[in-house]
Every structure is written in C-alpha cells, then in structure tokens.
Amino acid sequence: MDHLQYRHALAAQLEASELAFPVSEFEARLARVRDAMREAGLDALLLTDPADIYYLTGYNTFEVSVHTCLVCSAERLVLQVPSIETGPAVVTARVDELLGYRWEGIGEVIEPLAETLAPFQAIGLDLYGAGLRHGVLRELQSRLGVERFRDDGGELLDRIRIVKSEAELACLRQSARITSLGLAAAARVIAPGMADGDVAAEGARAMLAAGSEFMSMQPIVTSGRRISVIHLNHQRQQIARDEPVFLEFGSAYRRYTAPMMKTVVAGGASREMLVLRDVCRDLFEALVATMRPGSTFDDAARAAEAVLAPHAERVFFSGVFGYAVGAQFPPSWVEGSGYIARGQVREFEADMVFHLPLCLRVPGQWGIGLSDTVRVTPRGGEPLTDNDWMLGGVEAAGGPG
C-alpha cells in the first residue's frame, strides 16, 4: 500500500490514540492562539518549528529534519508531513486535515500548501524559527505574492507558549524528577580514572529507565580543563583525581524538559572551587528573588550581574542567566520564547518556567556549573528541580585553588 492507503488503514484503528494531552488542553491552547491572531489581524499562521506544531496539535516524531508545516486559521488546522511521517501524524496529532507528500519529492510540497494558503491575505511566519525552508517560502511567495506574508507569527506564539498551563507544569515536574534521578546516578559513579562517557552512560540509563523519552539534548559530561570550553561534551576522556566533573542533563516527559546542571569533584574540592560554587548559589538567590510578576527579565539580569561583578574578570559567563523551557525537540531543549538577560524588557508572569544555567568557567583550567529549573510565582522563583548545590567528593578539602 502507498502512504495514503497506510494513513487510512491506521486511522481506522489508531487515530489520535497517542494524544499527549486531553482534547480540552489542545482546545484551550488553540483558542488563545486564535484570539491573538484576531488581535494581530492575521488570517493564518504557517508554522514549521516542531515544538510549535506539537504545542497546537500533539504531533510528535523524532524525525524533525524533514519539511513539516502546520497551517492554523480561524476554522481549521492543516498538517503537512512527508510520507514516512504518516504514522506519527495519524496516531499523535489532532488536526482537521492531513496533507502528505512523498519523502523523496520535496517539490510535491508547494502546490497543495499554496492551495491551502490561497484564501488568506495575512499569513504569519516565524522567520527565525526552525524548519522554515527558504526554497519553500520563495515558491509560496512567488505563487501567492510576497505582500501576504508577515514575520510576526513566531512572536505571537512565543507570547502564549512561555506561560505554562497546569498540564504543562505537571509534565515539567515529571521531567525534573527524572532528570534528578539521572544526575544522582551519574554523580554516584564518578571516580578518578573513570571515562567521562561512562558517567554519561550511567545518567542516560537511569533517565531512560525512569521513563524519559528521547531527549532534546543528550547528557553532557565534561571534566577538568574541558569544562572551561563551553559546549564540549564527553569524548572518552579520563577523569583525574580532584578534577571537577560537569554534568548537565535534561530528561523529556511528553517532550517537556526541566534541565539541571551539577558539578561533582572526583576527590577534594579546592577553596577556589568552593568560592565559585558559592557565587553560583548567590546568583541563583538573586535571580529567584526577582523572578516575580512586575519585574522584567532585565531587572533579574541586573540583580545577578551585581553578584557576578567582583568575579567578572576571572571567569567567563555566557550573559544569559535564564532561558524559557517547555516542550522541545532535538537539537535543543531551549524554548526560545524568553531570556533573562540585559535589555530583555518583558515582565515575568506567573507560571513562566526558566532554566537558570549558572556555569562559571576559568579559561584553560576548569569550571563550576550548577542550576535549577524554576517556576515563576507571585512570591518569586520556585525550583522544580532539586539541586543540592554541593560539589560532592570532599568539600572541605581546602586544597590549593
């Protein structure tokens, strides 16, 4: 049978059988998006980011490298997927119409998509989001006219996605629980002479055994001077005695990720390591005290910068004190809907959720990274993860810095 016959055969038995949430949750999300579209004067959204499509429909697959799009209008949801993704679309998504195209025939995308978009005069795009292929957009604009397309679709959806529902918070709590189990398992096995990949394997095994789905980023483990280079990962390196080992894990539960960083010393922590651990904790306290409705992301960043200032010449910090998290797909768990950084003037709202990635790196030597995923409440930031802010090993070693 071809992919069309396959779709109908599956739908007869399994249609929407693996929806991630009750229909009422998707209806509430869609109502918020459609209200925002009306206010913005948009007739339709053309969405290509896998996480945006998941948010509105539940469509879930690990194959996110192929063209997929969702047309959201006031009346209908139309999902376009390649033939190899027919199964996940039938089983996981709630849409009004499913458009398929042959996986090997990207040219088949244009005509049915142009026909679907033809009635709409104002079509919102996310030009900075994932999945939007220039060739597809160019052909659509050639057929329908450039003037129909606007670039405010991504911002519209970000404003909605950044505030989490109770169902989303429940998923983030589950992810936090699983992430913590993975970090604890990895931390227990760290010892001098061990390979960094073996530590990562132990953490991954624990998270998968506890219920994690495929993760948006794989477990990150580095040690010693390699911690000082941002975004390296395990690579068959042997852990030396008294070296810090940096861990950053994020399990996926219904695609929602609550990440956490931890640093464990394979032996005794030096005085300087303990100092930077304390700076990380002070940064965290400054941030969560400011993460309440009425304060801006910039306010929180300034409060944290005041704590960091005495150490700024010694260590490297990325400049982003927090980023929004939610439902994501590879290659990243960063939602992209909000950042706690200087110049970000949006105000905090209750039930926004941020990962606070507090990693201080001494170039060429080592680094200390500790973090929690935090929910915004009227009282300030409330951790969903359970970092103990300890470096493990022998914390009172007091060796040379």
Identify the CATH assignment for 3-161 out of 3.40.640.10, 3.30.70.1350, 3.40.350.10, 3.90.105.10.
3.40.350.10
pLDDT of residue 395: 55
Q: What is the CATH number of domain 166-399?
A: 3.90.230.10
| CA gap 166, 128 in Å, rounded | 28
What is the SS3 assignment for 34? helix
Residue 94 CA, chain-centre distance (Å), reads 22
| CA dihedral (351, 154, 218, 222) positive or negative | negative
pLDDT of residue 393: 62
User: What's at 396, amino acid-wise?
Assistant: A
What pLDDT tens digit does each residue of the chain (401 aa) get? 888 899 999 999 999 999 999 999 999 999 999 999 999 999 999 999 999 999 999 999 999 999 999 999 999 999 999 999 999 999 999 999 999 998 777 788 999 999 999 999 999 999 988 899 999 999 999 999 999 999 999 999 999 999 999 999 999 999 999 999 999 999 999 999 999 999 999 999 999 999 999 999 999 999 999 999 999 999 999 999 999 999 999 999 999 999 999 999 999 999 999 999 999 999 999 999 999 999 999 999 999 999 999 999 999 999 999 999 999 999 999 999 999 999 999 999 999 999 999 999 999 999 999 999 999 999 999 999 999 999 986 554 444 33
pLDDT of residue 399: 41
pLDDT of residue 130: 87
Identify the bridge partners of residue 98 per DSSP, sorted by sequence position: 79
| CA gap 382, 292 in Å, rounded | 10
DSSP assignment of 296-358 equals BHHHHHHHHHHHHGGGTTTSB--S--EEEE-B--TT--EEEEEEESTT--PBP-TTBEEEEEE
| CA trace torsion 234, 236, 239, 244 (10° rounding) | -10
Where are the chain's structural domains?
3-161, 166-399
What is the SS3 assignment for 221? strand
| CA gap 55, 335 in Å, rounded | 12
pLDDT of residue 394: 54
Identify the bridge partners of residue 149 per DSSP, sorted by sequence position: 123
Tally of CA atoms within 13 A in the half-sphere of 94 that contains its CB: 17
